[in-house]
């Protein structure tokens, strides 16, 4: 039985962190969230190709409006922020409100 992780930010840092979660964090599912849906989709496709299995999915999300991300966390074991530091306070508050583990 694996875990579901949500990674906020699908740039190089987010994709690299998601890869590590998939390889070493017993990930069953990883949701890559980005303001740019094309970046999220490209990141998910790259992860799935590198891992040789379908583990990553892409979602549109806006870290500047963390309340809109709450539904994505309902089944998540944890959230990793690979977004700009200026979003961390709002994301941390969201993690507390949704009782979700978070790392940035």
Output the domain CATH number for residue 62: 3.40.50.720
Cα-Cα end-to-end distance for the chain: 25
| pTM as predicted | 0.95
Count structural domains, the chain.
1
Range of the domain at 15: 3-103
**Residue-wise pLDDT tens for the chain (104 aa)?**
699 999 999 999 999 999 999 999 999 999 999 999 999 999 999 999 999 999 999 999 999 999 999 999 999 999 999 999 999 999 999 999 999 999 99
């Amino acid at each position: 039985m694996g875990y579901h992780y949500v990674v906020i930010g699908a740039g190089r840092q987010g994709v690299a962190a998601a890869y590590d979660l998939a390889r070493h964090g017993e990930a069953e599912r990883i949701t890559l969230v980005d303001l740019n849906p094309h970046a999220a989709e490209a990141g998910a496709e790259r992860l799935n190709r590198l891992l040789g299995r379908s583990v990553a999915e892409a979602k549109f999300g806006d870290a500047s409006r963390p309340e809109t991300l709450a539904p994505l966390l309902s089944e998540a074991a944890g959230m990793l922020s690979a977004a700009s530091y200026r979003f961390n306070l709002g994301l941390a508050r969201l993690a507390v409100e949704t009782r979700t583990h978070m790392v940035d």
